[in-house]
A and B are shown apart, each in its own frame.
Chain A
Amino acid sequence: MGRGGLSVFVAFIVGAIAIVSLLLGDNPALFGAGAGSEELARRLTLPGDVLLRLVVIVIALSVVIGIVNLLYVHIGRLARGKFYSAVLLASFAVTIAWTVLNKGDASLLEAVQVPIESALAALLFPSLALGGARVMQKRADVWGLLFVAVVLIVLLGSLPLAELAPVQAFSDWLMAVPVNAGARAILLGIALGAAVAGVRALLGQDRAYRG
């Protein structure tokens, strides 16, 4: 069995255990009444819980991989004379040093990170507004028109102006009925896609982890 085969095998086994455990465990009612069914349900739950906890630990640890990658990338870029990589590495070092020297005090992070991200968030407003103004440039068709119309109606409906009361009522209906239905349909589609992707992964059809 090659490396790919081993990955598929591990994925299949772990996936199957997790599915059985999470779907059938923790509900004695599925196995009829009696003390035995409770014990069975408890035992079935255990492997799934253990696996989930392992996943949580792995995800938490993966941040370390991310940081290593970030440093590696930017050291490489620094070698090619990229100024901002130097800034990044310097701020990384300063933040780590500050946090260590001040025994875990993250105030520097908060003083820098929060304002910068807030500024980026503020940039979203013009980006979205100006992007919204160009929809017809890219999609000059009836769907683009519909999209723009809905955007405008919902925006107008959110304004607290008494003159716009009819628009507000229409906007509320729009959000509650068609938009809601569409959103649910998209979410349903995504859930189906996720299920099919999960089955693909279990069957070892994805190259993503086949090595």
Chain B
Amino acid sequence: MSEEFNWLEYAEPEESAPAPSPRRGLSRFLPRLPRRPRIFRTLRLSFRPRLPGLLRLPRLPRLRRGAQPAPKQSSAADLLGTQDERPLEELDDRLQMLRERSAASLRSEAESRQALYDVDEVLTAPEILDKPGGVISAAALSKAQQQQVELLKDIVGGGAAQANEVSGGRIRLGAPAFSLSAIPRIVGTAVLLLLVSLPFASSDFSEGGLPPAEFQEDRHGATTLYNLLDNLTTDDYVLVAFEYGPAAAGELDSIAELFLRHIVAQGAKPLIVSSNAIAIARARNIIGGINRSVAFSGNELVHLRDYAILRYLPGGSLGLRELSENFADVARVSYKGELTGLEFESLDDMTHIVLIAERAEDMRHWAEQVVTQVERTRLLAASAYAASPLAQIYANSMDEIVGLLVGYRDAYTYGQKLDDDFGALLPASDAPVNEPVSPNRALGGAESQAEGAGAMVEPSPPTEPPPPTVAPLPTTTPRPTNTASPTATALPTATATEESIRVVEVISPEQVRIRRGPTRADDILRLALAGDLFAVIGTNGDGSWYNIALSDGLEGWIAAFLVEEKTLTVAEFLAGGGEASARNPGERVYLRREIIASLGKNRPRYYQARGPIGGDIPEYVLLRDRSAEVPRLEAMTLGTLGAVVIIAGGNVLYALGALRRRRREADIE
């Protein structure tokens, strides 16, 4: 707004005199005229239409630049707005006659629009539009002027605000239902739709590579996030914040579902919470989807037993403040208003807080209102692609925030990782349907049984085939890191218990680290204690590191000087080995917390503990239909390509048009 421009006082000074002319009241009943078409403004033509008959329109209020504040001046508001509806009988005879005449001249009653809102009876506007030529003909343009007008119209480009433009001397009210200008829009939408649908129809349109099966090396946050969730146990509660609505659901539903499946598979209990009411419906939908996928095994998740959806938190960041300060109260009531039976003292009773955020603001609210209020609990964050640049800043700058996972591509990697790590536990699609999974095969060796009876209960046999999986199964997936060989197949499938295998026993009195690779710079997968036995897969070049088989289908590396190599029969191995930390959940929890306390932003934070250890954990919850994943990723790629082409093409055309217009303008000048 320019300094000198004040449009509040735009009335003409001569009209602002307090003249109680009859026109003042009448102006309400005059027909509504369209705004002066842009062409006239451009031409600066004096556009003063005259009504046929008695009345003259009041002058249109004219904008005046540079007017100084003059509060005494009457504005259009003063002239018109303070009027109440005048009863008919108050009008003088002349006006009443005029009204009757104009009403009679209406072609149809239907055309007398009732535009006054909530007013039952008004004076009907005299219909001037039916007169051939209408108001516009009053301007009486010559042919030369008409041509000029057409040229100017072309220059102005028929942009916005021309819906009511003059056509054929009549004023058209409202936009046409369909016009040719809609064609590019329809074509563009059709092209986008086609591109997005193609990958679902045929596999010939596979553009671009799939996301990696492991998070990239430099993405410490993402790997740590996975490992922290992978480290949950049956006594853990995880607060899962669904902070996204339907607009981001396509992008974030997958990651939310994977988080829930992972948490439940570990035996921990997710408590779902949201400051977005619609997100609660989404959470219910996702749980419904998980339940449908595990229905065949009878391991459906039950509200308040396996998970809980807490009450909605109104008030945005205020709601989150309430959550962090009065978590005990919030956790007592479910979204349905029933009591959850959950007794907590504070948010610190949560092992982790998981946030799935659509917007950077959500991340900010959680970082400011929640993370600052907890002492120990960490915030594991995932966000939509659009929010990631700002959300990443929070993840980088606050030690308490771990992450960030971004969008659907990271969800794919997370899911792939989950399948790789747990895949051996699950029935393979090529395995006979009714054949229970062999614990030996499942756990990549004998280690599982060494852990004791309840360590890894085989899942009950499925009664119907698991959903088809398109993505390669773990047994055939090449592991991307330096763990070179597929886990399950690389290990001795110890069907004969007398077969000898090469094992190592931890001899160090201290906790020792099992790493992802044969160097001290590699990620720590987990810890081991003296006496733990591991099957050996191989060694590195100089024999300073052993490549060993871990439970859960994992493998790792351990430094040779910490262990003693032995050769045992499988039976001996099964009977003699074991990990104290795994046998004793309390100790295991202690181990984990110790590691968490030492996590820092600047050093590797990778470690991984064991998989599920309880006997009642529905691992089947990890079985999911992945058939749509790859086409979806391809559809994303093709759709983005389509958008790029449309945006680039459209803008090039409009830019050329603008250049041409400017040249013509310059020519006219």
Contacts and interface: CB of A to CB of B under 8 A. Distances in A.
Contact of A121 (B209, B210, B250, B390): B250
A59 interface: yes
B157 to A, nearest CB: 8
Contacts of A175: 389
A126 B652 CA distance: 18
A126 B285 contact: no
Contact of A155 (B247, B643, B651): B643
Interface stretch (B63-71, B276-284, B441-449, B525-533): B276-284
A65 interface: no
A173 B281 CA distance: 37
A179 B389 contact: yes
A126 B654 CA distance: 18
A110 B246 CA distance: 12
A137 B184 CA distance: 14
Given A49-B325, A53-B322, A129 B642 contact: yes
Given A109-B281, A114-B285, A136 B641 contact: no
A126 B390 CA distance: 25
A188 to B, nearest CB: 12
Contact of B209 (A145, A151, A160): A160
B246 A117 contact: yes
Most chain B beta-carbon neighbours within 10 Å: one of A55, A132, A145, A160: A160
Contacts of B344: none
B572 interface: no
Contact of B189 (A104, A130, A159, A187): A130
Contacts of B409: 160
A135 B321 CA distance: 40
A130 B207 contact: no
Contacts of B211: 160
Interface stretch (B312-320, B421-429, B511-519): B312-320
Contact of B246 (A60, A121, A136, A155): A121
A20 interface: no
Nearest to B388: A175
Contacts of A106: 281, 284
Given A136-B651, A148-B651, A180 B322 contact: no
A148 B337 CA distance: 49
B328 to A, nearest CB: 14
B315 A55 contact: yes
B182 to A, nearest CB: 11
Contacts of B658: 136-137, 140
Contacts of B640: 155, 158-159
A152 B644 contact: yes
A59 to B, nearest CB: 5
Interface in B295-344: 314-315, 318-319, 321-322, 325, 336-337
B649 to A, nearest CB: 7
B639 interface: yes
Given A110-B284, A114-B282, A56 B390 contact: no
A154 to B, nearest CB: 10
A3 B319 CA distance: 31
Contact of B245 (A59, A117, A152): A117
B315 A129 contact: no
B615 to A, nearest CB: 33
A113 B278 contact: yes
Contacts of B641: 159
B389 A176 contact: yes
A76 interface: yes
Contact of A114 (B281, B322, B659): B281
Contacts of B650: 130, 132-134, 136
Nearest to A80: B114
Nearest to B278: A117
Q: Is the interface of B mostly helix, strand, loop or mixed?
A: helix
A120 interface: yes
Contacts of A158: 385, 640
B655 interface: yes
Given A118-B249, A159-B641, A129 B188 contact: yes
Band of interface residues on B: 35 or more
Interface string B54-98: 000000000000000000000000000000000000000000000
B23 to A, nearest CB: 31
Contacts of B336: 104
A208 interface: no
Nearest to B641: A159
Nearest to A148: B651
A121 B385 contact: no
Given A56-B315, A104-B337, A160 B322 contact: no
Interface in B244-265: 245-250
A125 interface: yes
A110 B149 CA distance: 55
A100 interface: no
A117 B655 CA distance: 35
Interface string A23-64: 000000000000000000000000001001101100110010
Given A114-B281, A121-B249, A180-B389, A140 B654 contact: yes
Contacts of B249: 118, 121
Interface string B617-660: 00000000000000001000101111110111111101101110
Given A113-B281, A137-B654, A126 B189 contact: yes
B637 A134 contact: no
Nearest to A118: B246
B18 interface: no
Nearest to A113: B281
Most chain A beta-carbon neighbours within 10 Å: one of B196, B248, B644: B644
A155 B637 contact: no
A38 to B, nearest CB: 17
Contacts of B647: 129, 132-133, 135, 148, 151-152, 155
A192 interface: no
Interface string A88-113: 00000000000000001010011001
Contacts of A136: 650-652, 654-655, 658
A125 B281 contact: no
Interface in B163-204: 184-185, 188-189, 192-193, 196
A159 B646 contact: no
B322 A155 contact: no
Given A109-B281, A145-B655, A152 B648 contact: yes
Closest 8 CB pairs of A and B: A133-B650, A140-B658, A117-B246, A136-B654, A160-B208, A129-B643, A132-B647, A137-B654
16 contacts: A56-B318, A56-B322, A63-B314, A114-B281, A114-B285, A125-B196, A132-B643, A132-B651, A133-B647, A136-B651, A140-B658, A152-B647, A155-B647, A159-B640, A161-B207, A183-B390
Given A135-B651, A160-B209, A183-B390, 17 more contacts: A49-B325, A52-B321, A60-B314, A104-B336, A125-B196, A129-B188, A129-B646, A130-B188, A136-B655, A136-B658, A140-B655, A159-B637, A159-B640, A161-B207, A161-B208, A161-B209, A184-B390
Interface of B: 118, 159, 184-185, 188-189, 192-193, 196, 207-211, 245-250, 278, 281-282, 284-285, 314-315, 318-319, 321-322, 325, 336-337, 385, 389-390, 393, 409, 633, 637, 639-644, 646-652, 654-655, 657-659
